[in-house]
Structure formats: structure tokens, C-alpha cells
Structure 1
Amino acid sequence: MSRKRVKLLVDSLTRSSKHFNKSEVECLVKLFDTLVAKASSHFAGAGFDRTVFRDTLHSAFGLTDEVMLDRVFSTFDRSNTGNITVVEWVEGLGVLLRGTLEEKMKYCFAIYDLNGDGYISREEMFQMLKNSLLIQPADEEPDEGVKDLVEIALKKMDYDHDGKLSFTDFEKAVREESLLLEAFGPCLPDIKSIIAFEQKVFRETPK
């Protein structure tokens, strides 16, 4: 990318970004270019693919759950092209690293709403909790334990008692108990990973 294009891109992203200043945006664009270079040449210039994305989030933030990583990829990949563009990268990281509670609630809800119908259903909760739980001892039926957890979650969060969670239910529950933000599996980096990532990426001040 020519220096002129980079400058225009950084200016435009700085204007649209609520969370990063200009030098931070430059650092993120630089990191984006490094990741694109790692991706298959098929996407060169357009962005990087799911594999590079998952590897990056895994090594930067310790996110390991494959279902969650796929869902995080889908929320970043808003244009649904199968690769992450520089705009999606900067905006997505804005929420991941410095998002407001409001933004994080929307992000987590979108991750957990597996089929995108605007609700987190019993089946979706079961699917996610099943993946994030450690396997139980042999004498215990693991699915039963997961079903119990789903019922507990519904009892606590399903305010309108329709057997599924709308965003309104989810938001109300999280505002009352912030730990419920990641009730159905880890999809946000922890504070330690965020600090380490920012120090590493933003330490290099662009020339």
C-alpha cells in the first residue's frame, strides 16, 4: 500500500474510530498489513482469512474455544466476505479492547445468537455451554449438567418468561450482574491480555 493511501486510510479510520487515536490506528494498520502478509495470497490486499484471525486472537488473547473464535470472526466480518478488512479489524478491536458496556453487550449477544434471529434460544445456550464446560467424570451424564445450567441461566435472565433471551433480557441481566456478560462462554479478552496486547502493538511509535 502506498504511503499516501496509508495516510488517507489512517485519517479516515481515526475519524470513524471512537476508541483509538491516530498513532494507535497507524499501529493497528501496520499490524493488519503484517497479518495480511501471513494470509493466503488469495486475499492479498483485501484482508486476512479466518485461520490467521483465529491464530492471532488465540496468541494475543488466549481465546481457545473454536466455536467462540468462529463466532468472533463472524462479528468482525460484518461484510460477510470470509476475510477481515482493515476497517473491520480496527472497528472490531475497538470494541474488544476498549468497548463501552453497551458495545460489549451487543457484541456478546451477537456472538451467542448463533443463528442471528435476535434471540438466544435454549438450544444455542446448550450448544455453547456444552463446548465451554470441562468433561464431567464418567459416572455423570454431561448433557444433564449442561441442561441444568441452561435452566439456571433462563431462570436468572429470561425476564419475560418466553423460554429464550432477547437483547432486552440480556441487557437487563448484565446491568444487574456484570459477570453475566460472558455467561455462555468466553468471547472477550481479559484485562491482562488487553494490556499486554496494547503495550506490544502501541509501543512502536510509527515513524
Structure 2
Amino acid sequence: MNRKKLQKQAEALNRSARHFRRPEVECLIRLFHTLVPEAGERRGAAGLDRNAFRSVLHLTFGMTDDMIMDRVFRAFDKDNDSCVSVKEWVEGLSIFLRGTLEEKMKYCFEVYDLNGDGYISREEMFHMLKNSLLKQPTEEDPDEGIKDLVEITLKKMDYDHDGKLSYADFEKAVRDENLLLEAFGPCLPDIKSSMAFEMQAFQETHDL
């Protein structure tokens, strides 16, 4: 990718990915093109497909939960064309790595709202918790324990008592207790892996 094209792209993305400085945006664009070598060559939907993106989540950020990784991919893929474009990559990472609490709450809620209806239902909680909790071989019926956990969670987070979590419920609960941000599975990078990613991705900007 030539320098002029890179600078032009970085300039455009620097406005929408507001948590990165311009040299950092340039680094992320270059990284994107190493992950998708053919992105610059072909027209149409050029970007990271589901498998390539999941492999980044797994290898770089240590994510292992298939359902959550799939939902993170969908949260990045704003136009639903089944691949993450360079714009979606940089804007997504801006929130993923450095987002404000507000931005991260919206992102996590979107990840957890499996059917996109604006609520996290009992069924959705059950699926995610069942997926993310380690199975204990001694448990007779692990599903019962998860159902109990869903009820405890609802009791704590469902402020309007309608049996499901709206964004307003989720936001209030997280503001009261920040640890609830990832209540239904890890969908943000931990500090160690995000620092390692930034050190590697931005090493040429030196002054991090």
C-alpha cells in the first residue's frame, strides 16, 4: 500500500476512531493489510472474514468462547457483509482497546443481545453462561445451577422487573458495579493482552 494512500486512509479514519492518534491509525491499517494481504488487490468486500478475525481474537487476545467470538465479529462487522473492513477494524479496535465506559457498555450489550431485539432475555443469559462456565464433572445437572445463576443475575440487574435486561437495566447495573460489564462472558481484552497488542502494533510510534 503506497504511503500517500495510507495517509489519506489514516486521515479519514482518524476522525471516527477518536481514541487513536494518527500514527497509531496508520499502524493499524498496515497491520490489517498484513492480515488480509489480498484486501488491496480485489474489489468488493475486502476484509477479515469470520475465521481470520476469530483467529486474531484467539491468538492475540486469548478468547476461547466460540459464541462470544462470533458475537464480537458481528459487533465489528457493522454493515453485516460477513467481513471486517479496514474502517470497521480501526473503529472497532478504538472501542475494544480504549473505549470509554459508555462505549464499552453499548458494545458489550450488543454482543450479549444475541437476537438483536434490544433485550438480553433469560434464554440468552442461559446460553452464554452455559457456554462460558466450566463444566464441573461432579454436578448432577449443571443446567440447574446455570438457571439459578440466571435468576440471581436478573435479581441484581433487572431494575424494572420485566424478566429481561434492557440497555437501561444493564447500564445502571454496570455503573453501580463495573465488574458486571462482562457478566455473560469475556468479550473485551484483558489489560495484559491489550497492552501486548498495543506495544507490538504501535512499536514504531515509539512514544507510547
Q: TM-score, normalised by structure 2?
A: 0.94
Partner of 1:165: 165
Partner of 1:29: 29
* Aligned-residue RMSD, C-alpha: 1.8
* Unpaired stretches in structure 2, ≥5 consecutive residues: none
Residue 13 (structure 1) aligned with residue 13 (structure 2): yes
Q: What secondary structure is seen at the aligned counterpart in 2 of 1:185? A: coil
Deviations, residues 63-105 of structure 1 (Å, cap 9, x unaligned): 1100000000000000000000011000100011000000000
Deviations, residues 101-149 of structure 1 (Å, cap 9, x unaligned): 0000000000000000000000000000000011122442010011011
Partner of 1:51: 51
Deviation at 1:42, TM superposition (A): 7.7
Partner of 1:115: 115
Partner of 1:103: 103
C-alpha distance in 2 between matches for 1:38 and 1:128: 35
Does structure 2 retain, via aligned residues, the 8 Å contact 1:37–1:44? no
Does structure 2 retain, via aligned residues, the 8 Å contact 1:60–1:193? yes
Partner of 1:68: 68
AA of the residue aligned to 1:166: S
Does structure 2 retain, via aligned residues, the 8 Å contact 1:46–1:83? yes
Task: Kindly report which structure 2 residues correspond to 1:56-205, keeping only aligned pairs within 5 A, or say none.
Answer: 56-205=56-205
Indicate the percent of aligned positions where both proteins have the same amino acid. 66
Runs of 4+ residues deviating >4 angstroms: 41-45
C-alpha distance in 2 between matches for 1:100 and 1:125: 24
Does structure 2 retain, via aligned residues, the 8 Å contact 1:19–1:98? yes
C-alpha distance in 2 between matches for 1:16 and 1:183: 28
Deviation at 1:205, TM superposition (A): 3.7
Q: 1:103 to 1:139 in 2, by over 3 A?
A: closer
**How many residues end up aligned between the 2 structures?**
205
AA of the residue aligned to 2:110: A
Does structure 2 retain, via aligned residues, the 8 Å contact 1:36–1:44? no
Does structure 2 retain, via aligned residues, the 8 Å contact 1:36–1:48? yes
* Unpaired stretches in structure 1, ≥5 consecutive residues: none
Q: TM-score, normalised by structure 1?
A: 0.94
